[in-house]
Chain A
Amino acid sequence: MPKALVIRAPGTNCDMEMCRAFELAGAAVELVHLEALCAQPAAIATSDLIGFPGGFSYGDDIASGRIFAMKIRERLYPHLRDAAARGCPMIGACNGFQVLVQTGLLPGPAVGESWPEQPPSQRVALTDNQDARFHDRWVGMAYEASSSCIWTKGLDDGLDEAMRAVVHQLPVAHGEGRFVAANAAVLRALEQGGQVAARYTDNYNGSQGAIAGICDASGRIFGLMPHPERYLDWNRHPAWTRLPESVRKGETPGLRMFRNAVEAACEVGAGR
């Protein structure tokens, strides 16, 4: 059974649901405190998947994910770089996404390039929503068919357009989720490199390109502001009492993402 490492910090608060997501998807989970991991980073090398959950790490008082990301850059980067290089799937949701972009693990090196020795400089940011407010709501998602992201593969299968609009929603809950690229070239490279994995159908927070989530060039490291780990059961859908029984069968799109990653990790593991 592949092992998923879920990294929490003081203020992380979506760790239990991320652990459940990995478990339901068929992984064994180790939940570890960031400070403990900094002291003993070996756990990264023995993990098949890595999760960065949501929350308000270290209070998010300076900016979201800032201290968590700084500690990773200072203490853990080489270990995570090695994991990335060997194709270990990683996910950062909400605060985890904010951490991944500030560590440089997202968007990561361009296609064909290898991971640098030092943490890559930050090229995209997740900053104040355009109305400067915290929003909790479910928002429609569009998954890019052309993206190389392994997490979002096949989510549209078997769904017509009308059903996609109903089923492909994810909950968001953040005040700092507006996606901004450092410049037009960065944005263009993401778009052209298949690294834009998910967009909002209603761009409530003013993100460039309505971008909700991106992946690295390999498609295995995925970050998004919405919370797929809050959509593991059909009865978490905001209008599930209206959904026909026939739709509420099988795995939810949230769980499918984790299943995709666990399956991808198994393939890596088999070849290791």
Chain B
Amino acid sequence: MSTLHRIEVRTRQGASDPRAEAVHRRAKAAGLSVASVSSAKVYLLEGGLGAEALGKAASGLLADPVVEVATLGQAPASGAAVIEVHPLPGVMDPAAQSVREGLKTLLGVDVAVSTGVRYDLSGVGVDDAHAFASRELANGVVHQITKGAWTPSHLPKGHDYELKVGQVPLRDLTDEQLTKLSREAHLFLSLEEMKTIQAEYRRLGREPRDIELETLAQTWSEHCVHKTLKSRVRYREQGGQGVMNLAGRAGHATEPDGSVVIDNLLKRTVAAATFDLIAQGVDWTLSVFKDNSGVIALDDTWGVCIKVETHNHPSALEPYGGSATGIGGCIRDIIGTGLGAKPIASTDVFCVGFPNAWGEGAAALPPGTLHPRRILTDVVSGVRDYGNRMGIPTVNGAVHFNDRFVGNPLVFCGCIGLIPRTHVKGGAKAGDRIIALGGRTGRDGIHGATFSSAELESTAASEFSHAVQIGNAIEEKRTLDAILRARAAGLYHGITDCGAGGFSSAVGEMGAELGAQVELERAPLKYAGLSYTEIWISEAQERMVLAVAPDKVPAMAKICEEEGVELADLGVFGTPGAELILRYKGVEVGRMPMRLLHEGIPQPLREATWSAPKAQTAPVTAPATGEALRSLLSHPNIASKHWIVRQYDHEVQGNTVVKPLCGPGGRGPSDAAVIEPVAGSGRGVALGCGLQIHGGVPSTNHVSQRTYGGDPYLTTLAGIDECVRNLVCTGADPTRIAILDNFCWPSCEKPENLGTLVRAAEACYDGAMAYRTPFVSGKDSLNNQLRYQDPATGEKRVIEIPPTLLITGMGIVQDVNKAVTMDAKSPGNALLLVGRTTGDIGGSHFAQLFGDNGAPFPRTDLKVGPATAKAVASCIAQGLVKAAHDCSDGGMLVAVAEMLIATTGAGKPLGAALSIDPGSLKAWELAFAETPSRYVLEVAACDVAKVRTLLGDVPHAMLGTVDATGELTWPQASLRASVDDLAKAWLTPLAW
């Protein structure tokens, strides 16, 4: 007879408890008058444990003898309000798994474990304490938050499952009924897709079984198949300003009415650039678009691969778990590339609402949404806890604030990997066993793929809580360790990760040509009771699928046992007729041709429209230069992100050469990071990005649906240019830069939104061709909007995100010892501004703060931009550049200020005396315009002539001189500012 035992572990009396103090600070910040806070870790152990065993568990495993004490049972509350937080049943509890494993060694018994945290808040009522905990410390989507201690009599267990093969009659359904079925069963298939399925089963003369329909829904989801980007599109425009020229492009047919029909948007734009570049002699890509990530050559022996994904909808509901499983999934894409790559660096980019614009004293949050500050704090924690545990340095990132992200934040997770060039290609062979490695399968993550493909609704937290997961990094680390050993021993033919769609997608993709037979009951389960369909589509984390020849399975199993990784043989690749055959305990529960899965999806013609926005110019009220500079430095988009960066381990693996923060005090915001993947080789990889948000930014505190001026074609080109600039500034070779696209768009069912997508995609082609930067991979997320009912008025509303394109780039650094950082170096050095500034301030941060967001947007010159990058790179390669920084958010003067701020924190900072004459521009235009293709270079006085010769025709001007004054001066703009003061303005806003 087993009993439930409780052990509480808390800090020894008199010792400080930083975790409780942090909670106390948060409570005070939330306006709660709490006198004191204490916290305890709670362990519930179910199993036959005697008093001696419990004592040994407490002292030998759970409590630190120096700083902690353990209590068997429940310590008295002493008048405080007690709140306890535990994972909901079925939610991943990594600590419980650790305790269970530890107790096996220590006591030799296997017990069931649940862990939690108890908070004792004194001086506050239990209801207030509960409300605070629900808002700040836990999330009802994944936690149970109890008033008082949680004292169940038993830990939740699974239940028995009885096989019942289900059918979904749809052959006789009307269109309306098909639509209803698609939505209510969370299939999220279009009517046309439902009708295609209906026709197929009418042809087969039977109804689909439930698992077959689910498999189609997963495989055909926007998330998995990118059906919008791959579809045929009819594009029409009014007043395209002559910017974009589609005439004569392959796959583009101009109709008599002037519209253009593009036969496959992705293939004819993003991918076309890559293949056209390869045809023109770009010979260093090794694998593009086909695999889980794109691969390029690092040197003759090694390749580097890269993938960036989004995890937006899960992060809206449960930001901590959402971002952690986002990065976890992207890491698995790297592991699942070719015959397996080793992840070596990560990048993370977040888009959220302005933290001060929402909540108390500001606009009311839309129902069902979390506060932007909570979202940002938690997504950072999620990346920290997962990335740091995996031992992958998080070296690059960005944060962008815009109120239209309030209901639908964006979380981009990227990873790069190192792979032997001999291992870039792999694939299952007929007869290979289907081997699953890693985490067990549970009911978590059901319908993640379809959920992420639908728009968010305010009820999503309750309807889709099953799609949200908590990760367990250590499981993935073990699996990685086992796979790298198996790779070295040549034990498998193919590998992929279980991401969206779970086994259904992984096995479906690997067996697309061969067919596969799967015995679903063989998948190890977290708890009993899963149906065969749930096993098949669960997106439970930390699982990989490998194709292993039968004679290699024992060696594979041995490695897995040594590494503590569970292995399951799920079946075989290769069936007669390339069918997918699904069985459960010998009973066939599904059978369908692979052809239907991968080729059956209908491709409708989608409508896209674009009309150029009318410029709505308004006068600018420009404050004094110094005041404007300080305001811009304090803008959350520009302000220092050290609060985030310092929480990430960006140096694990020991190969980070240019760190995300640089300079003598570690404060300078690096343009990109540089790592040396093979230590001591001298060859480096720079990782950076360009993030451009189309549509400007509303400057008021309410969510404006008004689209500001601008053209996604231009913002996309600016994004590519920004990415290239960032990489070049650290020393990357511009002839060896590969890029990725991540489109995050609102619903593209709306022709206007598809129109902006078309323009962005066409710009991807033009930009990639001009910069000769092939896209090697990408991922899109096309339904980013929140639908809700305004509680005050009952009005139905939709908040669409502004169309957002993240360009991530990876550039080869030929010699890491020639890498350059952006911190100013020495008094007496000259500052040069490379690139021409125009007065087009549309979309700039200056315009956002001081008016005229409707002003013309700057254009990227596709001849001058690449030439400038090349010229700057050659100056750097010749060792002539002491510091380089790109002019991006905030413009030239912000860039110069950042170079000086980078010298603070270690004694007296450097200063600079600018002497450039604005000429025909207004001083604030030269200072703050965000014209692309511009760089600030610091050059020793004796090298200026050489640099100017190398720059040649590339527009450039002498900007001023670095000095030792600790002040930034510019008489022509009446500027005199203390660099320490500027640093304060920049460091403070996000020092959370």
Closest CB in chain B relative to A247 CB, distance in Å: 13
Q: How many residues of A sit at the interface, in one of the four size bands?
A: 35 or more
**Does B817 touch A at the CB level, under 8 Å?**
yes
**Does B47 touch A at the CB level, under 8 Å?**
no
Interface positions of A from 111 to 138, Cβ below 8 Å from B? 121-125, 127-138
**Does B609 touch A at the CB level, under 8 Å?**
no
Q: Are B65 and A66 in touch, CB under 8 angstroms?
A: no
Closest to A166 in B: B664
**Does B649 touch A at the CB level, under 8 Å?**
yes
Closest to A56 in B: B389
Contacts A61-B98, A123-B66 given: A173-B106 contact, CB under 8 Å? no
Interface string of A74-100 (1 = CB under 8 A from B): 110000000000000000000000000
Contacts A13-B391, A132-B19, A182-B66 given: A62-B105 contact, CB under 8 Å? no
**Does B388 touch A at the CB level, under 8 Å?**
yes
Closest to A229 in B: B654
Q: In the complex, which residues of chain A have a beta carbon less than 8 angstroms from the beta carbon of B473?
A: 56, 59
User: How far is it, in angstroms, between the C-alpha of A81 and the C-alpha of B579 when the chains are bound?
Assistant: 60
Q: Of the 9-residue stretches A213-221, A231-239, A261-269, which lies at the interface with chain B?
A: A231-239
User: How far is it, in angstroms, between the C-alpha of A239 and the C-alpha of B668 when the chains are bound?
Assistant: 10
Q: Of the 9-residue stretches B745-753, B819-827, B914-922, which lies at the interface with chain A?
A: B819-827
Q: Among the interface residues B472, B652, B666, which one has the most CB atoms of the partner chain A within 10 A?
A: B652
Interface string of A14-35 (1 = CB under 8 A from B): 1011001000000000000101
Q: Are B388 and A232 in touch, CB under 8 angstroms?
A: no
Q: Are A173 and B654 in touch, CB under 8 angstroms?
A: no
Binding site for A on B (CB under 8 A): 15-19, 21-22, 41, 60-62, 64-67, 94-95, 97-99, 101-102, 105-106, 115, 384, 388-391, 472-474, 477-478, 481, 562-564, 645-657, 659, 662-664, 666, 676, 679-680, 816-817, 819-821, 823, 825
Closest CB in chain A relative to B14 CB, distance in Å: 11
Q: In the complex, which residues of chain A have a beta carbon less than 8 angstroms from the beta carbon of B647?
A: 133-136
Q: Are B389 and A59 in touch, CB under 8 angstroms?
A: yes
Q: In the complex, which residues of chain B have a beta carbon less than 8 angstroms from the beta carbon of A132?
A: 18-19, 21-22
Q: Are B95 and A242 in touch, CB under 8 angstroms?
A: no
**16 A-B contacts (beta carbon < 8 Å):** A14-B653, A33-B562, A56-B477, A58-B98, A61-B98, A61-B115, A62-B98, A66-B61, A67-B101, A124-B66, A132-B18, A134-B384, A227-B651, A236-B655, A236-B657, A239-B663
User: How far is it, in angstroms, between the C-alpha of A45 and the C-alpha of B823 when the chains are bound?
Assistant: 50
Pick from B102, B384, B653, B659: contact of A17, CB under 8 Å? B653
Closest CB in chain A relative to B396 CB, distance in Å: 14
Closest to A169 in B: B666
Q: In the complex, which residues of chain A have a beta carbon less than 8 angstroms from the beta carbon of B97?
A: 59, 61
Contacts A70-B106, A137-B666, A239-B664 given: A61-B94 contact, CB under 8 Å? yes
Contacts A123-B66, A128-B18, A236-B654 given: A14-B474 contact, CB under 8 Å? no
Closest to A183 in B: B66
User: How far is it, in angstroms, between the C-alpha of A235 and the C-alpha of B675 when the chains are bound?
Assistant: 10
Closest CB in chain B relative to A169 CB, distance in Å: 10
Q: Are B477 and A235 in touch, CB under 8 angstroms?
A: no
Q: In the complex, which residues of chain B have a beta carbon less than 8 angstroms from the beta carbon of A229?
A: 654
Q: In the complex, which residues of chain B have a beta carbon less than 8 angstroms from the beta carbon of A233?
A: 679-680
Q: In the complex, which residues of chain A have a beta carbon less than 8 angstroms from the beta carbon of B816?
A: 235
Q: Are B384 and A242 in touch, CB under 8 angstroms?
A: no
Contacts A10-B477, A13-B391, A180-B67 given: A33-B98 contact, CB under 8 Å? no
Q: In the complex, which residues of chain B have a beta carbon less than 8 angstroms from the beta carbon of A124?
A: 66
Q: Are A62 and B61 in touch, CB under 8 angstroms?
A: yes
**Does A253 touch B at the CB level, under 8 Å?**
no
Q: Are A136 and B18 in touch, CB under 8 angstroms?
A: no
Task: Return the 8 tightest CB-CB contacts between A and B, nearest first.
Answer: A13-B391, A17-B654, A59-B474, A61-B95, A125-B66, A132-B18, A132-B22, A61-B98
Closest CB in chain B relative to A151 CB, distance in Å: 18
Pick from A10, A67, A71: contact of B481, CB under 8 Å? A10
User: How far is it, in angstroms, between the C-alpha of A75 and the C-alpha of B645 when the chains are bound?
Assistant: 39
User: How far is it, in angstroms, between the C-alpha of A138 and the C-alpha of B825 when the chains are bound?
Assistant: 19
Q: In the complex, which residues of chain B have a beta carbon less than 8 angstroms from the beta carbon of A171?
A: 651
Q: In the complex, which residues of chain B have a beta carbon less than 8 angstroms from the beta carbon of A230?
A: 651-652, 654
User: How far is it, in angstroms, between the C-alpha of A135 and the C-alpha of B21 when the chains are bound?
Assistant: 17
User: How far is it, in angstroms, between the C-alpha of A135 and the C-alpha of B65 when the chains are bound?
Assistant: 25
Contacts A59-B474, A125-B64 given: A71-B680 contact, CB under 8 Å? no
Closest to B342 in A: A16
Contacts A58-B98, A70-B105 given: A20-B654 contact, CB under 8 Å? yes
Interface string of A48-62 (1 = CB under 8 A from B): 000000111011111
User: How far is it, in angstroms, between the C-alpha of A62 and the C-alpha of B95 when the chains are bound?
Assistant: 6
Closest CB in chain B relative to A180 CB, distance in Å: 6
Q: Are B389 and A11 in touch, CB under 8 angstroms?
A: yes
Q: In the complex, which residues of chain A have a beta carbon less than 8 angstroms from the beta carbon of B102?
A: 58, 62, 66-67, 70
User: How far is it, in angstroms, between the C-alpha of A10 and the C-alpha of B478 when the chains are bound?
Assistant: 6
**Does A1 touch B at the CB level, under 8 Å?**
no
Pick from A12, A59, A121, A241: contact of B98, CB under 8 Å? A59
**Does A36 touch B at the CB level, under 8 Å?**
yes
**Does A44 touch B at the CB level, under 8 Å?**
no
Contacts A11-B477, A58-B102, A136-B648 given: A127-B67 contact, CB under 8 Å? yes
User: How far is it, in angstroms, between the C-alpha of A227 and the C-alpha of B60 when the chains are bound?
Assistant: 28
Q: In the complex, which residues of chain B have a beta carbon less than 8 angstroms from the beta carbon of A173?
A: 388, 649, 651-652
Pick from B99, B563, B646: contact of A62, CB under 8 Å? B99
Closest CB in chain A relative to B728 CB, distance in Å: 16
Closest CB in chain B relative to A186 CB, distance in Å: 9
Q: In the complex, which residues of chain A have a beta carbon less than 8 angstroms from the beta carbon of B650?
A: 136
Closest CB in chain B relative to A209 CB, distance in Å: 15
**Does A63 touch B at the CB level, under 8 Å?**
yes
Q: In the complex, which residues of chain A have a beta carbon less than 8 angstroms from the beta carbon of B388?
A: 56, 134, 173
User: How far is it, in angstroms, between the C-alpha of A135 and the C-alpha of B664 when the chains are bound?
Assistant: 18
Q: In the complex, which residues of chain B have a beta carbon less than 8 angstroms from the beta carbon of A12?
A: 391
Q: In the complex, which residues of chain A have a beta carbon less than 8 angstroms from the beta carbon of B384?
A: 134
Q: Are B105 and A235 in touch, CB under 8 angstroms?
A: no
Q: Among the interface residues A71, A124, A171, which one has the most CB atoms of the partner chain B within 10 A?
A: A171
Q: Among the interface residues B18, B22, B646, B650, which one has the most CB atoms of the partner chain A within 10 A?
A: B18
Q: Are A131 and B18 in touch, CB under 8 angstroms?
A: yes
Pick from A35, A122, A136, A182: contact of B646, CB under 8 Å? A136
Q: In the complex, which residues of chain B have a beta carbon less than 8 angstroms from the beta carbon of A54?
A: 652
Q: Among the interface residues A16, A61, A63, which one has the most CB atoms of the partner chain B within 10 A?
A: A61
Contacts A127-B64, A136-B651 given: A238-B666 contact, CB under 8 Å? yes
Q: In the complex, which residues of chain B have a beta carbon less than 8 angstroms from the beta carbon of A35?
A: 562, 564
User: How far is it, in angstroms, between the C-alpha of A153 and the C-alpha of B649 when the chains are bound?
Assistant: 28
User: How far is it, in angstroms, between the C-alpha of A71 and the C-alpha of B103 when the chains are bound?
Assistant: 10
Q: Are B105 and A14 in touch, CB under 8 angstroms?
A: no
Q: In the complex, which residues of chain A have a beta carbon less than 8 angstroms from the beta carbon of B64?
A: 63, 66, 102, 122, 125, 127
Q: In the complex, which residues of chain A have a beta carbon less than 8 angstroms from the beta carbon of B101?
A: 58, 67
Q: Are B66 and A122 in touch, CB under 8 angstroms?
A: yes
Q: In the complex, which residues of chain A have a beta carbon less than 8 angstroms from the beta carbon of B95?
A: 59, 61-62
Q: Are B65 and A121 in touch, CB under 8 angstroms?
A: yes
User: How far is it, in angstroms, between the C-alpha of A213 and the C-alpha of B348 when the chains are bound?
Assistant: 33
Q: Are B60 and A131 in touch, CB under 8 angstroms?
A: no
Pick from A61, A63, A241: contact of B820, CB under 8 Å? A241
Known A70-B106, A136-B649; 10 more pairs at CB < 8 Å: A10-B478, A16-B654, A17-B679, A62-B99, A74-B106, A102-B64, A132-B19, A134-B646, A206-B16, A239-B663
User: How far is it, in angstroms, between the C-alpha of A176 and the C-alpha of B577 when the chains are bound?
Assistant: 57
Closest to A135 in B: B646
Q: Are A180 and B663 in touch, CB under 8 angstroms?
A: no
Closest to B656 in A: A236
Interface string of A194-213 (1 = CB under 8 A from B): 00000000000010000000
Q: In the complex, which residues of chain B have a beta carbon less than 8 angstroms from the beta carbon of A10?
A: 474, 477-478, 481, 563-564
Q: In the complex, which residues of chain A have a beta carbon less than 8 angstroms from the beta carbon of B821?
A: 239, 241
Contacts A10-B564, A129-B18 given: A235-B817 contact, CB under 8 Å? yes
Q: In the complex, which residues of chain B have a beta carbon less than 8 angstroms from the beta carbon of A122?
A: 64-66
Closest to A73 in B: B60
Pick from B17, B106, B474: contact of A58, CB under 8 Å? B474
